[in-house]
Amino acid sequence: MAIQFQVKQPYIQMFYRILALSLVGTFIGIFVSLIAQVFLKTVRWMNDHLLISPSTRIQYDDEILLLISATILVPTIGGLVVGLIFQYMVKAKRSLGPPDTILMVQTQSQGESIRSGIMSSIAAVLSLGVGASVGQYGPLVYLGTIVGSALSKLKISIPNFQSICVASGVAAAIAAAFNAPIAGLVFAHEVILRHYSMQAFAPTAVAAAVAYSIVQFIFEQPLLFSVQFEGVQYPYEYFFFGLLGVLCAFLAIGFAKGIMVCTAYVQQSSIPIFLRPMIAGFILGIVAIKLPDVLGIGATTLRFATIDHAFEVNELALILIAKFAVTVLCISFGFAGGVFSPILLIGILFGALYESVIDLAVPLAITSVVPYAICGMMAAASPVIGAPLATILIVFELTHSYDLTIASMVAVVFSNLVAYRIFGRSMYDAQLLNRGFDLSLGRSHALAIYKKVSEIAHENFLKLSPDDKVGEATAKLDDGFHETGIVVDENDRFLGLVTLEKARDFESDQPVDVAFESVPLTFSEETNVAQAVEACRFFNLDIVPVVNSETQELMGVVWPYDVMRNYLLNERRLQAEEHETL
C-alpha cells in the first residue's frame, strides 16, 4: 500500500522564504564584510603613508618640515579632490549616509543611484585617508545599503524584500566594523526599520553573524579598544554615571546642532562646493600641527583615554574642544563621513575629563577612569544616532563586562531621556525633518507628510473653457461621467468649478462663468497628504483642484476618497510589515 504525503501550499511558501532569506542574508554578510575590510584597510594604508597615523608620525619626529608640510597639505589637497567628486560625480552634492538609508527604507523608494553611492563611498575613503575628522561607520552603513539595495532587485516574491535586504546590509556593516553582531542586528531594526518583525529578524541576524564570523576568524580584525575592568567598586558611583549621562545629553545636542547650523550656513554661502572641503582641510591641518590627536577617527587617542592618568585635565579639555570644533568644521564643509566615530572620541574624552574633575572635587573613592570613559562615550553617541539599545550592546560585545554594560546603560538612559525632550530622537531624524520627512509622530504620519497630493492627482476630469456656454457645459456634464467641470483659460490656469446642479439654474446661452461655484478649498504643489486629510474633514466636496501656487496652472484634481485611500493604504502596509512572518 503506497503512502502519499501531501504538502500544503503555505508550507511550501514558508520553506521557500526561509531558504531565500537565509541565502540572501548569507550573501550580504559575506559581501559586506569583504567590502568593509577593503574600506578599512585602504583608510589605514593611506593614514600610514600620508603621515596621518600617530605610529607613522613618530618615525618622522626629526623631519619637522616634512611633518608640518604633510599635516597641512594632505588634508587640504585631499579636501579639494573630495569636493570635486561631490561637485561632478554625486547627484546629491553631499555625503550619503544613514539618513538616506532610513528615507529609502521608510518610503520604499530607490534612493540615490548606485553610482552616486559608490562615488560617495570613495569620497569617504579619501576623507578618512587624508585625516579629516569624520566617522567611518556612516559610510560603511551606506555601503551596506548599496549592497542590500542592489540585491533587492532580484525577482524574489517576498513582501518588503527591499527593506529586508537593506537592513541586512546595514546589520552586516555594523557587525563587521565593530565586531558586534548583536548590536548590528539591533541597530538595523532600531534605526533603519523602526520595528521588529520576524520576517526581517532572520535575514538580518544571518547577515550580521556571517559578517562577524568573517572579520573575526578570517581577517582577525582587532577590537576598537580593549579594557581591563574588574567591576564598579562603589554603589554611589551609579549616581555619577547618571549625572554623566545628563551632561552628555547636552554635549550630544550641542554637537548635532552645531553640525546642522554650520552645514546650513555653508550651503547658503557663495563658497563653491568643490572648494569647501579644501578650506576645512587647510584649517584642520593648521590645528593638527599643535594637536595631531584631532586627525582622523582618533583610535589611538580613544584607547589612551581609558587609561588612568594618560592625559592631564588640561590636555583632555584641549583635545576635547579641538576635536569638537574640527569635526563640526569638516562635516559642515563637505568632507565625506559619518558622525559616530567623532562623537565616540568626544564622548570618551568628556567621560575621562568628568572622572578627573569628580576625583579632584568629591571626597569619595572612585573605581577608575574606565567606566566613566565608556559611559561618556556611549551616552554622548546614543542620542546622536538614536540607538540606545545598540550602543549598550556594543559595550557588552566589545568589553564582555557586565558591570560596564550596566554602568553604560544608566548613563545612556539618562542621556536619551534629556536629549529626546530637548532635541528629538536623533541627528538623523533632525536631518530628515529638514528634508520634509518627520518621524517624530510615527511612520505613517511621516509618510503622509512626505507624500505630496500632486503625486496622486489625476487628469480624469472635465475641462471647460470660459468661452463655453452654460448649455454646452450642461450637455458635457450630463453625460453621466462627470458632475463637476473645471474651467481653465488658454494657459491652463484655474478659473473655477461648475457643477451640473448649479448650471441648470442658468439660461443655456449665458457664459459659463455665471455658474461658477465658490471654491472653498484648493491644494497646491506643496500640500501633503496629511494636510489634505485634515482639510477634507471640514469640507463636503466631490473634487478638489490642485493648483500651482505661483502660476495658478491646474496640475490635476483629487477626490477626497483618493486622499483617504492613500493614507489608509500606507497605514495598512506598515501594520502588515510590522507583523509579517515567514
What CATH number is associated with residue 482?
3.10.580.10
Asked whether residue 379 falls in the same domain as residue 302, the answer is yes
Domain total for the chain?
Answer: 3
In a domain, 525, yes or no: yes
Asked whether residue 393 falls in the same domain as residue 265, the answer is yes
Confidence category of residue 25, pLDDT binned at 50, 70, 90: very high
pTM, 2 dp: 0.89
Asked whether residue 188 falls in the same domain as residue 166, the answer is yes
Asked whether residue 399 falls in the same domain as residue 507, the answer is no
Residue 226 has pLDDT above 80, yes or no: no
Asked whether residue 242 falls in the same domain as residue 211, the answer is no
Look up the domain containing 245 and give its range.
237-439
Confidence category of residue 213, pLDDT binned at 50, 70, 90: very high
Confidence category of residue 6, pLDDT binned at 50, 70, 90: very low
The contacts of residue 179 (CB under 8 Å, 6+ apart) are 212, 215, 216, 221, 223, 224, 397, 398
Please state, in angstroms and as integers, the Cα–Cα distance from residue 87 to each residue in 116, 123, 132, 169, 365, following that order: 11, 11, 18, 27, 55
Asked whether residue 416 falls in the same domain as residue 323, the answer is yes
Give percent helix, percent strand, percent coil of the chain, each to the nearest 5.
Answer: 65, 5, 30
Asked whether residue 291 falls in the same domain as residue 426, the answer is yes
Mean pLDDT value across residues 572-581? 80
C-beta of residue 508 within 8 angstroms of C-beta of residue 470: yes
Per DSSP, the three-state class of 369 is helix
Asked whether residue 428 falls in the same domain as residue 454, the answer is no
Mean pLDDT value across residues 60-87? 94
Confidence category of residue 7, pLDDT binned at 50, 70, 90: very low
Instruction: Average the pLDDT over each of 54-63, 227-236, 455-464 and give the range with the smallest value.
Output: 455-464
The helix-helix angle for 98-107 and 137-151 (nearest 10°) equals 30
pLDDT score recorded for residue 277: 97
In a domain, 344, yes or no: yes
Residue 470 has pLDDT above 90, yes or no: no
**Of the candidates 218, 251, 278, which is a domain's last residue?**
218
User: How does pLDDT run across 520-565, given as a tens digit for each residue?
Assistant: 788 888 898 888 888 887 777 778 888 888 888 888 888 888 888 8
Asked whether residue 399 falls in the same domain as residue 510, the answer is no
Instruction: Average the pLDDT over each of 129-133, 262-266, 386-390, 446-450 and give the range with the smallest value.
Output: 446-450
First to last CA, the chain: 36
In a domain, 230, yes or no: no
User: Beta strand pairing status for 554-558 and 462-464?
Assistant: unpaired
The more confidently predicted of residues 333 and 7 is: 333
Confidence category of residue 1, pLDDT binned at 50, 70, 90: very low
pLDDT score recorded for residue 510: 80
d(CA 511, CA 492): 18
In a domain, 229, yes or no: no
d(CA 575, CA 582): 15
Residue 438 has pLDDT above 80, yes or no: yes
CATH code, domain with 349: 1.10.3080.10
Q: Give the up-direction half-sphere exposure of residue 265: CA atoms within 13 A in the CB hemisphere.
A: 11
C-beta of residue 339 within 8 angstroms of C-beta of residue 135: yes
What is the side-by-side strand order in the sheet with 494-499? 462-464, 484-488, 494-499
pLDDT score recorded for residue 5: 43
Mean pLDDT value across residues 504-525? 78
Asked whether residue 295 falls in the same domain as residue 162, the answer is no
**Of the candidates 439, 457, 492, which is a domain's last residue?**
439
Amino acid at 400: H
In a domain, 133, yes or no: yes
Asked whether residue 434 falls in the same domain as residue 456, the answer is no
Residue 68 has pLDDT above 50, yes or no: yes
In a domain, 1, yes or no: no
In a domain, 108, yes or no: yes
Asked whether residue 363 falls in the same domain as residue 251, the answer is yes
The contacts of residue 282 (CB under 8 Å, 6+ apart) are 72, 75, 76, 79
In a domain, 325, yes or no: yes
**Of the candidates 439, 459, 480, which is a domain's last residue?**
439
